Amino acid sequence: MKQDMILILDLGSEENPRLAREIRDLGVYSEIYPHDISPEELKALPGVRGIILNGGPNCIVDGVEIDAGDHVYNGPVPVLLAGVKGKHPWPAEPEERKAALSRFVFDTCGAKANWNMENFIADQVELIRRQVGDKQVLLALSGGVDSSVVAALLIKAIGKQLTCVHVNHGLLRKGEPEQVVEVFGKQLDANLVYVDAADRFLDKLAGVADPEQKRKIIGAEFIRVFEEEARKLSGIQYLAQGTIYPDIIESGTKTVKAVKSHHNVGGLPEDLGFQLVEPLKMLFKDEVRACGVALGLPDEMVYRQPFPGPGLGVRCLGAITRDRLEALRESDAILREEFAKAGLAGKVWQYFTVVPDFKSVGVRDGARTFDWPVILRAVNTVDAMTATVEEVPWGILKGICDRVTREVAGVNRVLYDLTPKPVGTIEWE
Ligand code: XMP
């Protein structure tokens, strides 16, 4: 293995992710495991140079104070008991904290600052090969950042032993399915099964106006399509997933309760009978992007703005119709183009269009029109719990209005949504 690692064992601190980040910022790789890691699990971890038992307010679980096993204390590497009240609290001052950490990591443990993406990728390639052997792996490739980076990593590690299934549910943005086929099918020469299921999804959604019902239908249909494809393939033993560290944090640990349950792509059921391959599960989002860049994925894929699983389905308000979906896809593409041209694409967190299910009167070439409006939304946020509205310069808004009303069929009005979250949510449905 190319990288040294400092292991953090969770003794009830909510600060473990921050600590892992701080150690990685020193240039040393770090991973977090539950306090009750078994001797076998511990032995199997590569490159461990030291262990930090990081305690905190959640150290009492089911009425008992948790602790690590003797094998941790009596093992071959230095152990630091930190953070626990009265023992070795971390200094509050950032520079002192960094110095304390650095003394343990470098002086006590003798770790080398060799954490970088090239080494991470080299290690993961080896670990994936070790885990998978000569078996076959399946991946639901949505084209989102996480599944794309997993795909690229697995292609590097096991090539044609990976089969990617891309389900086009007809609710993707303009050019997205084509990009998946181009990048993974052609450039990276992956085994790619492309499923055009647009009609199937739209038929299922016909006449359904309730947002949660729409989400349920899209989620359930996704699983059905994916399972059908999985059944056609024989000899698959592993399922790869783009789980990343924030998903794991949100799902809760043994000492911290779940914020929300983790739904991977489309919420695949656990009873498919596969073992999981999750090579990104210890990475933070910016590290996942850096990994994607190092693997040679295009910037538009790696720096893609967040896009909801149900896709354009929750932006074509009410019961989805094909004409409004088309207007939505085209107006969204124009918005993205104009934001890119204006240098806003990398700056604004999320921006998209919405097409409501009512019409308004307009006039074009001297004749009355009765067409759909398009709503523009552009927001900034840190964690999507609250959001502020981007103050897009007037000239850019006017340019977008001009293009949308000229180029998108069935649209005669453009509006800008001024509502922060709260009171509005980011999406309209
Ligand atoms: P809201 O609308 O709740 O959105 O303010 C917060 C963030 O979550 C995204 N979002 C979703 N993502 N499935 C997803 O994968 C969904 O059903 C869904 N609904 C909202 C939204 O795009 C924003 O980034």
pLDDT mean for each 10 residues of the chain (429 residues): 93 89 95 94 94 89 89 95 72 91 97 96 96 97 97 98 98 98 98 98 98 97 94 93 87 68 52 87 94 97 95 98 98 98 96 98 98 98 95 98 98 98 97
What pLDDT is recorded for position 197?
A: 98
Cα separations in angstroms, 221 against 133, 228, 370 = 32, 11, 34
Residues lining ligand 1, Cβ inside 6 A: 215, 306, 308-310, 350, 384, 421, 425-427
What pLDDT is recorded for position 287?
A: 95
* Cα of 427 from ligand 1 centre, angstroms: 6
Strand boundaries in 323-410, DSSP class E: 350-354, 360-364, 367-380, 388-389
Q: What distance in Å separates the CA atoms of residue 49 and residue 47, rounded to the nearest whole number?
A: 6
* Cα of 308 from ligand 1 centre, angstroms: 5
Neighbours of 283 (CB within 10 A): 22
| Closest to 33 in 3D by CA, of 71, 87, 85 | 71
What pLDDT is recorded for position 55?
A: 87
Q: Which atom of ligand 1 is nearest to the CA of 215?
A: 17
What pLDDT is recorded for position 244?
A: 94
Pocket test for ligand 1, best of 426, 428, 429 (most atoms within 8 A of CB): 426
Q: Whose CA is nearest to atom 4 of ligand 1?
A: 426
What pLDDT is recorded for position 265?
A: 41
Q: Which atom of ligand 1 is nearest to the CA of 421?
A: 5
